Amino acid sequence: MKNYICATCGTIYEIAEKPPNICSICEDERQYVGLDGQKWTILEELNKNYKNIFEDKEPGVISIKTLPDFAIGQRAFLVKSKQGNILWDCVTLINEETINKIKKLGGLIAIAISHPHYYSAMTQWSAAFGNIPLYIHKDDSQWVMCGSENINFWKGENYQLNDELTMIRCGGHFEGASVLHWKSSVDGKGVIFSGDTIQVVPDRKHVSFMYSYPNIIPLNKQKIQKIIRAVEPFEFDRIYGAFQQREILKDAKNAVLKSAGRYIKAIE
């Protein structure tokens, strides 16, 4: 009996005697099945060839990235708030080295996830830190492949994790796709952790928005406008995206607004 992991998207499934026939995440049109067909692995195999790397991004922000790249290749973020550390998004690899490193940083009090592509091993991470609560939007509940009593399905447009951290439902990429706003950054200017709901592009001056990134399916004008309406009330100077070096470190809110205008003009 094992928790099988999709090698293409990194999603962990309920414990079973054999792997599922398909990965529902990858069969969806926003993802894909690899050229060699559906492949599965387990955590024990991952630990033989991969490790998690921690990188300080700014005071109170630490990225966690699995190397070499596994599955989609996203990074997670440990965000330090006065009420305790929050993990934003997740990576599949979880091991004693990672757990001990995070405990030295003060542990975790909760995990918040942007959208289903980064659910990865969220339930295993929750259990590893004492069954801490997991927060994902209810509109994406159908994509949970490994359930847990620790999952909290929140509703509506915003969910305040604590006095400093707020989840903002943007939609677009998924119905419940969300970003995380941190108002208590060291300079007080605010930070958005965007996953790829708002995707920082390689020039690091703009962002973009897609229904599917690998299959290049764009969003329409109404979806883009909804994303902008969701984040506009919040002040932020920096954005940290899902992938390494995908971050805008100055005037990020203006970059998002300008990029939305550019995108809408292009699709019209």
Report pLDDT digits (tens) over 79-93.
999 999 999 999 999
- Give the model confidence (pLDDT) of 207-263 as tens digits: 999 999 999 999 999 999 999 999 999 999 999 999 999 999 999 999 999 999 999
**Range 41-65 average pLDDT:** 97
Q: Which domains does the chain possess?
A: 2-267 (3.60.15.10)
Alpha carbons 6 and 34: distance in angstroms, whole number: 10
- Give the model confidence (pLDDT) of 175-218 as tens digits: 999 999 999 898 999 999 999 999 999 999 999 999 999 999 99
Q: What is the pLDDT of residue 186?
A: 86
pLDDT reading at 55 higher than 90: yes
pLDDT reading at 49 higher than 90: yes
Alpha carbons 183 and 190: distance in angstroms, whole number: 4
Strands (DSSP E) found in the chain: 2-6, 12-16, 40-41, 51-58, 61-67, 75-81, 84-88, 110-112, 134-137, 151-154, 158-160, 165-169, 178-182, 191-195, 199-200, 207-208, 210-212, 217-218, 238-241, 247-248
Q: What is the pLDDT of residue 50?
A: 98
Phi and psi at residue 202, in whole multiples of 5°?
-60, -25
pLDDT reading at 17 higher than 90: yes
Alpha carbons 13 and 61: distance in angstroms, whole number: 29
- Give the model confidence (pLDDT) of 128-164 as tens digits: 999 999 999 999 999 999 999 999 999 999 999 999 9
CB 144 within 8 A of CB 136: yes
